Structure 1
Amino acid sequence: MKKIFGWLHLWLGIGSGLVVLVVAGTGSLLVFEEELEHAFRSSFFYVDAPANTSRQPLDNLTAYVLRENPKYKVLTIGIEPEANRSIVYLLVKGKPKEIKNQLYVAVNPYSGQIISSVAGNKRFFSVVLQLHRYLCMGETGKIITGISCSIFTILILTGLILWWPKRNNRKQRFRVKWNASFKRLNWDIHAVFGFYVHIILFVIAITGLVWSYKWANSLLYLAFDGNTKQQKIVAPTSRAVENTGIAYLDRIVATTNEKLPYEGKITIRFADSDTLAVSAAKENRSRHDNVSDFLYFEAGTAKLLKVRLYDNESAGTIARRWVYPIHTGSLYGVPTKILALIAALVAFTLPISGFLIWMGRKKKKPTAKAKKKLPINKTVNSRVQIQS
């Protein structure tokens, strides 16, 4: 059985190695995406908060952003609770899911000036995410990464079986022999490090399958809700109200903070149609990552139409919201992110060390037994020739 699993592990690893390398490498960058982006582009996200100076009305800022970018429409507005944070707009045109049609705009809420604008296809982490999920190949890339994710799940299981030590060989399988030959050291790095992070990698791979395949997503709902029918989350209908003269975006923010009196980022999202309500999602930072409550408002008047709280969601919907923080390691903040980063870095090395192991076996020298047989055969052949 180990020979069969070894054969599977080898050829599945060779077949998916390059994709795993790309996905694991980009995944390690995405673990600390927010922290890295804020560190290297702090001027985009942070502003000086003048004392005794109030913010400009959000409706005025939005109108100004649209005047400066007439080819775009607003998809989302990100409002952080801290006083020294910029307001970040995501503008879109054409097909909004294509990163070339996206534009990120940071605005100083006090001066009302645009700090900076960056196209989606020029934003570093947008490109990294496209590589991670689609290999920058659209739906074709999604199919490839989905297959590779399935294969990687099998590789983790077969790798564990191949690693499983015999009774007299247990110590060797739990530690790396740093002073060994390169060949032995490479094997230890592949097998031992792979063992220590295999549970984390397995969870990351399984949650990745939920994004890749509908059947995996349906199984999640079946496990928690007892059926595969996913709850459809649709914004309620709304009258198309324009030019009311009401600062309705500021009213949305005020009502959201009143109804949801905890600290957290507010993301206002505009629907594709004027007949659908505007949503405001507020992150609850007092709980684990990706916990948000939603309020829906009538555009133009900020009339509250619907309240959708996290705690009132079905068990399947809550489980589905857990997928993202589990996959990225952000579930409980920095500690789980560090674990996810270590696992991703190890996963990045596995195709390389595995390939070197395979190359080492291909170049393997003849065994002592084989060498011993070779002269005997030559001697026998020579004697036959002499006698003849």
Structure 2
Amino acid sequence: MDRNNKARAPRKKKKSLFSRVVAWLHLWPSIVAGVILVVVALSGTIIVYCDEIMDWTAGEAKYVQVPKQVIRVSSDVLKANVAEKCPGYDISEFVFFKDPKRSVRMRVFSPKGPRLAMVYADPYTGKILKKDGSLQFFFVMAHFHASFLAGKTGGWIVALSTIVFVMSTLTGLVLWWPKKWNKTTRQASFTIKWKARFKRFNYDLHNVYGFYSLIVCFILGTTGLIIFFEPLMDATVKAAGGTTEHLTDILPKEDSLTSRKDIVPLACTILQQSGENEVSIWNFDKKKAGAYVFTSGKVGLKSIEYASVKVYDSYTGKEIHVDQKYLKHEKTENIIWQLHMGQWWGQAGKLSTFLAGIIATSLPITGFLIWWGRRRKKPGSKNREIQKVHQHRAESNM
């Protein structure tokens, strides 16, 4: 072998400043916020199917025997029965159903402490059928997801970590994008090598599943930031053609000298007219409003699918026509919550959000393992690989 023909070590092409900045932004902020992101993503994933789980825990209390003479009891009767059977609790929300076999669902809370439950009542007798405490679990989980139950400080920690998460989705796309598109790069970018060694398998889990979940993860992160930062929510509402004022700000005030109409007949009328199967009304403090705000659609814990808002004067029972800019505000906020909770596109939306949540939970872990594996790489392994290349090239020149 001619010594003069010895192959020199190929110089590795230096990465551009842009590539190095993107790689740094993808790695180090994610490592710092990694544990927080795992907890936030996992708790959010648990909440996705909260409505279905609460429907399941309600059991037989969801349905009642329909009497021959179908007459629904008033909301005052329901309130009195809740006060008797669930002392210490107030009603925060009523949900009425078009199906005559469905019971009335009421969200109740304790003013003395953060205790919540769902109460189911017979709409024809007013009898309390069940008080279901599973709502309390999701209440705690939601606040843990939003702030680690640490108030404003915890909220800021989660918000800053979410900014890192959103940034990671964008930088991750840049790092994932192949320099050349061919059969080999397509296979490596879109498929997982299931029989590969752990390092390669872990890399594929991070790289491939990260790409497939990118859009949903980006939506979850950005909607979370919009919910946390009020100026962002206001800007989103304005962009959608709404006003930053809330609907409750323009409702008529209470008239203490006039008796209110019952909400039950109004709710039934809306169900017949809207074509929706459920209608919700929050049990506003009478000192705040002299109007009823009904929202029909599929009522969830934090948002409503196909939401349609109607406002009625609580003293005359007549519909109040509200300027569209206020309705746009309510609908836009509802859509943001729908996107964040996965309550869009029916069960397909929920499944997509649930799977994206699982992947989002795994990404900081698989990413850390990739970094740790490279960090612990033996110093001599790289040199041995270079020596093999040199030897192969030298022998071919003999």
Alignment TM class, shorter chain as reference: 0.7 to 0.9
Q: Deviations over 1:16-50 (max 9, x none)?
A: 22222122222222222212221243234x12324
Q: Which residue of 2 aligns with 1:350?
A: 363
Contact 1:240 1:275 in 2 (8 A): no
Shift of 1:186: 0.2
SS where residue 289 of structure 1 aligns? Answer: strand
Shift of 1:103: 4.1
Q: 1:73 aligns with which of 62, 74, 90?
A: 90
SS where residue 240 of structure 2 aligns? Answer: helix
Q: Which residue of 1 aligns with 2:131?
A: 117
Distance in 1 between the 2:152 and 2:379 partners? 47
Contact 1:53 1:110 in 2 (8 A): no
2:323 corresponds to 1:306: no
Correspondence 1:48-127 to 2 at 5 A: 48-52=64-68, 54-58=70-74, 59-94=76-111, 99-100=114-115, 102-118=116-132, 123-127=136-140
Q: Which residue of 1 aligns with 2:220?
A: 204
Distance in 2 between the 1:65 and 1:314 partners? 32
Shift of 1:290: 4.5
Distance in 2 between the 1:43 and 1:23 partners? 33
What is the letter of the counterpart of residue 114 of structure 1? Answer: I
Correspondence 1:207-286 to 2 at 5 A: 207-225=223-241, 230-234=244-248, 235-241=251-257, 248-257=262-271, 260-274=273-287, 276-284=289-297
- Cα 1:275–1:202 change in 2 (3 A) is closer
Question: Structure 2: which 5+ runs fail to align?
Answer: 1-17, 299-303, 387-398
Q: 2:185 aligns with which of 170, 180, 199?
A: 170
Displaced runs of 4+ in structure 1, greater than 6 A? none
Contact 2:148 2:155 in 1 (8 A): yes
Q: Which residue of 1 aligns with 2:144?
A: 131
Distance in 2 between the 1:320 and 1:69 partners? 32
Q: Which residue of 2 aligns with 1:377?
A: none
Q: Deviations over 1:167-201 (max 9, x none)?
A: 16523122111111001100110011101111121
Contact 1:252 1:297 in 2 (8 A): no
Whose RCO is larger (CA < 8 A, sep 6+)?
2
Distance in 2 between the 1:166 and 1:265 partners? 52
Q: Deviations over 1:75-94 (max 9, x none)?
A: 22111222222212223343
Q: Which residue of 2 aligns with 1:22?
A: 39
Contact 2:36 2:161 in 1 (8 A): yes
Q: 2:52 aligns with which of 31, 35, 46?
A: 35
Shift of 1:308: 4.0
Q: Give the TM-score, by structure 2 length.
A: 0.79
Distance in 1 between the 2:345 and 2:382 partners? 56
Shift of 1:166: 2.3
Residue-pair matches, total: 358
